[in-house]
Structure 1
Amino acid sequence: METNNSKKFTQKYLLTAAECNPEREMPLTLVMSRIIEVATLHANAWGVGYSKLIEANQGWVLSRVTVEMTRYPRVNEQYSFTTWIENYNRHFSQRNMEICDKDGVVIGGVRTIWMVINYATREGVDISKLSYISNNISDRKSSVAPQGRLHMVTEATKSTSYTFKYTDCDINRHVNTVKYLELLMNQFPLEKYDKQLVRRLEIAFMHETRCGDTVEVNLNDNDGLDCKLSVDSGRLSHCRARFCFSPR
């Protein structure tokens, strides 16, 4: 681990065989887990991680994530995540990340939007007066293009019903970010991932989903390289996503 300064935080990893996907690479779900982990470690380094916020019955939650990868780390390869805060307002904090190989070559980038919720009301908290954020804004920018507006899929080429279960839920007692991503990724066959790489992922979390909730996972893959998905119940979207693929 390296903490170069309070505004920037770097964490190093080694990709083990047990963590790999069928293509012997870092799975996108592990990328998402690392995003959450590194953000948490940086917040902990400021003294404003879970143990501090829970004193006020509050916690950080992800609102949007955009990932761009030129390639994914391979089995037994070292890699690192570096994170910093670019901006924030009353409602959201924008945290960026850069993914590098062991030689420091950039292989991916991340844009994330976070918010703080009150666990009792399940509503957002005003973060504009949090001094630890305002004191640690970085002038470093992200190479990742901002996320566009994602829409509910209304003309699905495939729809799948799913009921969320105990292991889909996290410490906030709602569906875990990675579990959403697993569900979305499983709408495509293994052969697609063998032939194509997810170059860009956009995902937005719209409404909480709880254990026992049944949803429809709607996919439109008319454009096989630019696929849209939404996790819906009736007219309500819980999660919307866009997967941009490219040939391997």
Structure 2
Amino acid sequence: MKPTILYEKNYHIDLRDVDFQKKLKLSALFSYFQDAANDAAIRLGVGIDTLQEKFDAAWVLMRLKVDIERLPSLDEEITIETWPQEPRRFDFERDFLVKGRDGNIIIRAISSWGIIDLKERKLVKASAISLEYPEVIEERAIHGKLRKLKGTDPMHPVYKKVIGYSDIDFNGHLNNSRYIDYMMDCFPIEDHEKYQPESLEVNFINEALPGDEIVMKQGEGETSGEIIMEGVREKDDTVIFRAKVKIKEI
């Protein structure tokens, strides 16, 4: 199969992927991104199976930022377009556009991925897999850089979650889409009825493994409608992920 840099995939919004308002859950959107990214990587010769078999390694999502114009609804058809940027020393950036049936862009995202050695559980250099792109698309889905998010003070505990079977993926650690469910569970249903995310930025900082107890915390951001969130492993006070959510009224 000839390598292609731009990849498109269509998705139908099913019952399993929507919330009580029949809108696409953010965790399902993240799963779509993972799925499209892997399909695109397969076409470039570096899908998850190839990485594991040839390099005993796996892709891991490190940072992601999403800007949302609107969330698609049940039974809607959407198209996700994705393309990579030139590899850097330790990370690979990948952009996403989500389009409605009419072709209008409804969601934009930029992401940063790394490669983890499955034995050492450490990041390895991008050059380890000798990935070359047949072309480069300079256009970005979102202008600006993915950045290291800062915490805020005070951070208030909201609830605790023990990582179990339904939370982990084939790498044996907490799947990034589950982080999003944990974040959304910090808000009462009444808030979900009145507000929706306008943007979401997440730093995936450390692995969470089965049996880990995660304390979800949140605090106020620097601007109105901005919320800082963290998942902290209770036994050693390690920050597993940090996120910034900006909400708007529906």
Q: Settle same-fold status: TM greater than 0.5.
A: yes
219-228 vs 13-22, which deviates more? 219-228
User: Residue 30 of structure 1 aligns with which residue?
Assistant: 28
User: Residue 60 of structure 1 aligns with which residue?
Assistant: 59
Rounded to whole Å, the distance in 1 between the matches of 2:194 and 2:248 is 9
Structure-to-structure mapping, 1:228-239, within 5 angstroms? 228-233=228-233, 234-239=236-241
User: Residue 45 of structure 1 aligns with which residue?
Assistant: 43
Letter paired with 1:226: E
Q: Which runs of 5+ in 1 are unaligned?
A: none
Structure-to-structure mapping, 1:100-139, within 5 angstroms? 100-128=99-127, 130-139=129-138
Letter paired with 1:166: Y
- How many angstroms does 1:236 deviate by? 2.0
Structure-to-structure mapping, 1:192-203, within 5 angstroms? 192-203=191-202
RMSD over aligned CA atoms reads 2.1
Rounded to whole Å, the distance in 2 between the matches of 1:25 and 1:5 is 34
Rounded to whole Å, the distance in 1 between the matches of 2:159 and 2:153 is 14
- How many angstroms does 1:113 deviate by? 0.3
Identity %: 21
Letter paired with 1:34: Y
Letter paired with 1:16: D
Is residue 149 from structure 1 mapped to residue 148 from structure 2 by the alignment? yes
- Given that 1:11 and 1:82 are in contact with CA atoms closer than 8 Å, whether structure 2 keeps it comes out as yes
- Given that 2:215 and 2:231 are in contact with CA atoms closer than 8 Å, whether structure 1 keeps it comes out as yes
Q: 1:17 to 1:235 in 2, by over 3 A?
A: closer
- How many angstroms does 1:181 deviate by? 1.2
Letter paired with 1:241: A
User: Residue 247 of structure 1 aligns with which residue?
Assistant: 249
Letter paired with 2:15: A
- Given that 2:3 and 2:44 are in contact with CA atoms closer than 8 Å, whether structure 1 keeps it comes out as no
- How many angstroms does 1:94 deviate by? 0.4
Query: How many aligned positions are there?
Result: 246
- Given that 2:44 and 2:133 are in contact with CA atoms closer than 8 Å, whether structure 1 keeps it comes out as no
- How many angstroms does 1:17 deviate by? 3.2
Q: Which runs of 5+ in 2 are unaligned?
A: none
Rounded to whole Å, the distance in 2 between the matches of 1:32 and 1:157 is 26
140-149 vs 78-87, which deviates more? 140-149
User: Residue 219 of structure 2 aligns with which residue?
Assistant: 220
- Given that 1:157 and 1:221 are in contact with CA atoms closer than 8 Å, whether structure 2 keeps it comes out as no
- Given that 1:85 and 1:136 are in contact with CA atoms closer than 8 Å, whether structure 2 keeps it comes out as no
State TM-score, norm by structure 1. Answer: 0.92
